A and B are shown apart, each in its own frame.
Chain A
Amino acid sequence: QKEVEQNSGPLSVPEGAIASLNCTYSDRVSQSFFWYRQYSGKSPELIMSIYSNGDKEDGRFTAQLNKASQYVSLLIRDSQPSDSATYLCAVRDSSASKIIFGSGTRLSIRP
């Protein structure tokens, strides 16, 4: 079983709609969870960090964490064409503190 799993997509969402990206992880005692955005040919860029159960909002972005279900999600409201990118979910494990990434979900916002 992969440590961090994401649907590879592509996920196509109309401009102005809500994009919903999902991630599951296998290490039950993981403590830190991150969402990164990566444009083609660029390096991953941090969007959100979340450490406790519930929702965390930052502008158009909302991260949701459910540790019991080992599930992290990212919602993007009022999607813009500039949101088209690959979104990477990352988990920092509780013991060795290494950061493991999912394979990413490719998001396309259609005008």
Chain B
Amino acid sequence: KAGVTQTPRYLIKTRGQQVTLSCSPISGHRSVSWYQQTPGQGLQFLFEYFSETQRNKGNFPGRFSGRQFSNSRSEMNVSTLELGDSALYLCASSLASGGIHPSFFGPGTRLTVL
């Protein structure tokens, strides 16, 4: 069974640009959640999608958005990039929404904003 895949793995952008990251969950999983990992803050929850609906949202500005497609693949978008957005973005998949915990994480997308 293939794991959670994220593309691209590495990305370099400049301030003011926008970026779109993609996550494909494990086959059969319908919930995808996104996290931002930075050295100073650890892992912080961004949002969760289930059946194309956002079920939960963290404390991030509106520049961070996401969506989920009918095949459960999810994308997150960050507009008007800031230097502080440089981080590892992780997505996790689960069978159902509101599950006890996300068990399967992807390897992450390393975003660098210059």
Q: Do A and B bind each other?
A: no
Chain A positions within 8 Å of B, measured between CB atoms, are none
Chain B positions within 8 Å of A, measured between CB atoms, are none
